[in-house]
Structure 1
Amino acid sequence: MPEIIKVQGLQKRFGKFQALSNVTFTVEAGEVVGFIGPNGSGKSTTIRTLLGIIKRDAGIVEIFGKDVWKDSIEIHKRISYVPGDVSLWGSLTGGEIIDLFIKLHGGGNQQKRDYLIERFELDPKKKAKGYSKGNRQKVGLIAALSVDSDLYIFDEPTSGLDPLMEAIFQEEVEKIKVAGKAILLSSHILSEVERLADKVVIIRQGEIVETGTLQELRHLARSTITLTTEGDVNEIITVNGVHDFTLKGNKATFFADNEFLNDVLVKVSTLGVKSFECVPPTLEDLFMRHYKG
């Protein structure tokens, strides 16, 4: 698949503070990349660099093979961006603002606009000064999704939305992914990233600490196993890679390093299994691995 975003060795310093250090990742066509990290980790600085708002100190940052600083005007014709806090003109209605955003982009789909307004349950005739934060986000999302872009950059896009609207956003993202569009999704809702992302990029203190598909990254954390056996389940403690073993009644729960799962299964099979459940690590487990403490 063609490379839509290319970030290689990105460096950015504000005075003595090193905001970004050797940030490297890619986003390809038809791919959703989850970009995660806590406040202050460098997510927004990276995104502002991609948008040509901040000039990098070093490294390669390209979208569509073009330099994001020198060719930002050309690049912006083909991207849609939604920030985590959408600012609107208070005297205009939501519908007027959506139409203005679409016009500034260079054209959109009126039928798609109307469909999205209905889906997101937005009152387009209400003035923006009366909108809640969630409704302001809806205006930004509807405008971004109403135009045909090749790259969508979402920076905490569902901030302020209720769970039902979050689900609708996720469904719309899956549609544009199927259409072959590239999506960079920065979100604090890890379940949202886990559902949508093909690849995850975890940033910590301005540096990329993990990159890969969830399947590739899951070997970095432990699976949770719950089981009951006819034999003495305490024998599981002797197996390599077993951690935090607890027993309640006849039900044992413990963590197991994925590299030792086969050893666990071999041992369990000798104990007369009555029930067995193995849950792979979630994105939250992977995330907390890097941020614990």
Structure 2
Amino acid sequence: MNEIINYFSAIPYSHRAMILAGGIALFWLIESAVPFVRFRYNKWQHAGINIFFTITTIIVNFSLALVLLKTANWTTENNFGILNWLPDFNPWLFAIAGLLLLDLIGAYLAHLVEHKVKFLWRFHLIHHTDTYIDTTSGNRHHPGESVIRFIFTTFGVLLIGSPMWLVFLYQTLSVVATQFTHSNIVLPKKFDTLLSYFIVSPDMHKVHHHYVLPYTDSNYGNIFSVWDRLFGTFKTLDREKLIYGVDTHMKPEENNKLSNLLLIPFQKYRLPKT
């Protein structure tokens, strides 16, 4: 465990970039060879839009990184936060508890609130407009949403009392998990179901991208599936019934045009169907 702590305490930015790029490349190759859905689309044009949003997310997070670093250091130096108030225990259990809590506040809670608060939903909506879910879709977030997510992450670090190495570990696992659950692949059904009892599986997350309620408002988890099961937001849907997108933006000019996607938070749109 000490080796993991030491590595993530000072993980080079180049390593983080390689994990991001390497994950996309790996799942891109797999989904191209054995796709779950054979989309009739320009895969490179689609990827170009999503990679643009990936870059803006990186820029936002890099610009605000000092805030996150100072927050994590402050909690450690002042013995503040849930993890610091617990008695000393096994480092592995400490890491697991920290990852679960970061996933709860920085991912599950943030995601849930974005769906329930109309102003925040306007920014998160860009992610749901994608009608061709593949591994590049995982980072399709409006720059405004990237700021919103960063605020939740920072709040989570403060409340949890997470050291920076744990934040870096969580972010690394989160990147890979997001690429995995969005990738256009399919696992054997029984294995996917078994996996969904522990972590978010591809089938589980794809339900969240079904185009109508109540499925859109379900399966908010990022890495761990426990929070959806615990809070009653877990849903299933037959693979054959999946239709990606969101029913308010099903036209190509609405969901597959970069200039429109950037403006969606500021546009009027019809309410989704229930």
Structure 1 and Structure 2 fold alike (TM over 0.5): no
Larger Rg belongs to: 1
**Structure of higher RCO (CA pairs closer than 8 Å, 6+ residues apart):** 2
Q: Which has the higher helix share?
A: 2
Q: TM-score normalized by structure 1?
A: 0.23
